[in-house]
Amino acid sequence: MKKAGIVAGMLVLAGVANAEIVYSGDDGAAWSVGANWVGNIAPGNGSAVQIDSTKEVNWDFGGGWHSPGNPASVNLDGTLTTVGALRNWSTDWDISSTGTIDLGGNWLVLWGGGSSFTFDSGATLNQTSGRIEFGDSAATTLGFNLEATGFQTMSAGLLQFNNHVGQGIDVNMANYTGGAGTIVLMDFTGNNGMTDTIFKNDLNATVSDAGAYAGSTLQWNETTSAIELNVIPEPATLGLVCGFSTLVFFVRRIFIM
C-alpha cells in the first residue's frame, strides 16, 4: 500500500508538471510564488506556462535560471519583467504580438537544451543595454514569425554568438503575402564582432514555410548591425510575374494601335 501511495503521488506530480500553469497574480508579482498561479502551484519542470495579455509577471530569479526545473513551454501574451538575466535552458518561449519582455539592461540568454525564443510580429523587447546571447551549448534558436505585411522591427542591445554547432536563427514566412524586398527583423546597438560572413557560415540561419518566396535568405547588415531578411520570390513565381507583365504590355500595345 505504501508503494502504491508513492507511485500515485509521483503520477500527480508528473501531471502537475505537464499541465498548463496559468498566471493569476497581481501585476509585477513574483513568478516563483505559487499563490500567483491558478492552483497555487508555480511552474515546474516540464510545465506549459500561460501568461495572458492583461497580466504582468516578474522573473524573480537573480541568477536568471528558472527554479525548480525548466518549463517545457511559455506562451507570453502579457508582460514579463526581470530582476536579472533571463536564461533559457530547454524551454520554448513564444512571445505573441501582444507580448512584452522588459529586460532593461539585463541579458536574454539561449543557453541550450533545445531552448528557443520566438517572436511574433508586434511583440516587444525592451533592452536598453545588455545582450542577446547564444550561450555555451548547442540546440538554441532565435525565431521570428512574419505577419502578412512583414515584421515590426525589434531593438536589442548586442548580439553575442559563441560559435557552437546547432545555434541558429529561423524566420517563418507562413503568413507573409507581401512582395520582394528587405525586412529588418532585429536592430542592435552595435556589431560586437559579428560579420555577415560569420552570420552566414557559423549560425544556422534558416527560412521556413517560405512558399512562393523560396529564394529568401537571412543576412547580417554590418552597417546598421541588424538581422535582415531578403525576400526573394522563387524563380518560377518570378517568371510568372514577368510573363504576366509582358502580356499586359503586349495587350495594351494592341489596343493603342
Residue 252 φ/ψ, nearest 5 degrees: -60, -40
Question: If you compute the radius of gyration of the chain from its CA atoms, what whole number of angstroms results?
Answer: 22
DSSP 105-174: T--EEEEETTEEEEEETT-EEEESSSEEEE-SSS-EEEEEE-BTTB---EEESEEEE---TTEEEEEE-T
The band of 24, judged by pLDDT with boundaries at 50, 70 and 90, is very high
168-208 pLDDT tens trace = 999 999 999 999 999 999 999 999 999 999 999 999 999 99
Q: How much is the pLDDT for 166?
A: 85
- Out of 12-16, 87-91, 157-161, 209-213, pick the least confident: 12-16
- Residue with grid cell 539561449, as numbered in its chain: 110
For residue 251, pLDDT over 50 is answered with no
β-pairing, 226-231 vs 181-188, is antiparallel
Do 95 and 117 form a contact (C-beta atoms < 8 A)? yes
Do 165 and 192 form a contact (C-beta atoms < 8 A)? no
- Residue with grid cell 532585429, as numbered in its chain: 186
Distance of CA 21 to the CA centre of its chain: 20
For residue 1, pLDDT over 80 is answered with no
The band of 39, judged by pLDDT with boundaries at 50, 70 and 90, is very high
For residue 17, pLDDT over 80 is answered with no
Residue 163: which region, alpha, beta or left (left: phi > 0; alpha: psi -120 to 50)? left
Q: Please compute the mean of the pLDDT values over residues 233-256 and round it to a whole number.
A: 49
- Out of 152-161, 213-222, 246-255, pick the least confident: 246-255
Tell me the C-alpha distance between 154 and 145, whole Å. Answer: 12
- In terms of pTM, does the model score above 0.75? yes
154 or 235, higher pLDDT? 154
C-alpha cell at 254: 494592341
Angle at Cα 221 formed by Cα 195 and Cα 234, nearest 5°? 110
Q: How much is the pLDDT for 7?
A: 36
105, 118, 137, 190 from 185: Cα distances, Å: 20, 12, 24, 15
Q: Please compute the mean of the pLDDT values over residues 252-256 and round it to a whole number.
A: 46
Tell me the C-alpha distance between 75 and 22, whole Å. Answer: 10
**Looking at this protein, which amino acid is placed at residue 47?**
S
75-94 pLDDT tens trace = 999 999 999 999 999 999 99
Length of the chain counted residue by residue: 257
Tell me the C-alpha distance between 64 and 73, whole Å. Answer: 16
